Structure 1
C-alpha cells in the first residue's frame, strides 16, 4: 500500500516543528554538526536503528563531524510523506543526546 504524499501546504505547516530541516530538491533534509567524528558515527548507528524500526530508510551521509539525511518515500514516487516527518521527528528527539547541533 502506497503512502500518500503530503501537500506543499502540509509540509510548510509541519516544518516549524522540525528546526534545521528544510526541503531541497523535493527531499526533506538536515545536516547535524557534532563535536567529534566518533559522536557522528554513533549518531549514524542510532539513525540506522530507528530506520530499521520504522522500515523507512533515508540517504544517510557520515562526514567529518557531520551527519546528513535526505528523506523521501519511494512508495509515493519520491514525495515527502508522513513517514518522512515521523523519521525526522524521531531523529530530532535523540539528536541532542549525541551532542548534535
Structure 2
C-alpha cells in the first residue's frame, strides 16, 4: 500500500466509515470494551495475527476487559492508507469477540 500521508480531509472521510475510532493528534485510536479479561486477551491475539499478516503494527494495550489501539505509520510519521486498512480489519473482527 502507498505510504504517502493522507490529507486531513481524507482522514476525516475515512474516520466516518469507522464508528468509535477517532483522531488523536497524528494517530487514530479506539478502545473496545469486552465481556471479560479472557475475551479481551483473545481479541488481542486476533489483532496480533492481523498485524503480522499486514506487516503493520499498532500500539496495543490490554486492560482487564478492554483493548486499546493507537495506529500511525511510523515510517512516514503520519496517517496512511495502511493505518485505515488495519483499523478496518480490527473493526470487522470486533463484533465476533463481543467487543463494543
**TM beyond 0.5:** yes
Q: Give the SS at the match of 1:31.
A: strand
Q: 1:54 maps to what in 2?
A: 54
Distance in 2 separating the partners of 1:73 and 1:19: 21
SS in 2 for 1:56: coil
Residues 49-100 of structure 1, C-alpha deviation per residue, up to 9 Å, x if partnerless?
Answer: 0000000000000001000000000111x21100000000000001000000
TM-score w.r.t. structure 1 length?
Answer: 0.96
1:37-48 to 2 correspondences below 5 Å:
37-48=37-48
Structure 2: gaps (5+ residues)? none
Residue in structure 1 matched with residue 81 of structure 2 by the alignment: 82
Q: Is residue 2:95 matched to residue 1:96? A: yes
Quote the residue 1:27 is aligned against: 27
The count of residues paired between Structure 1 and Structure 2 equals: 100
Q: Over the residues paired in the alignment, what is the CA RMSD in angstroms?
A: 1.3
Displaced runs of 4 or more, over 3 A: none
Post-superposition CA distance 1:1-26 (Å, at most 9, x none): x7101000000111111000001121
Question: Counterparts of 1:69 and 1:25 in 2: how far apart (Å)?
Answer: 14
Partners in 2 of 1:44 and 1:11 — Cα distance? Answer: 25
CA distance in 2, matches of 1:28, 1:13: 13
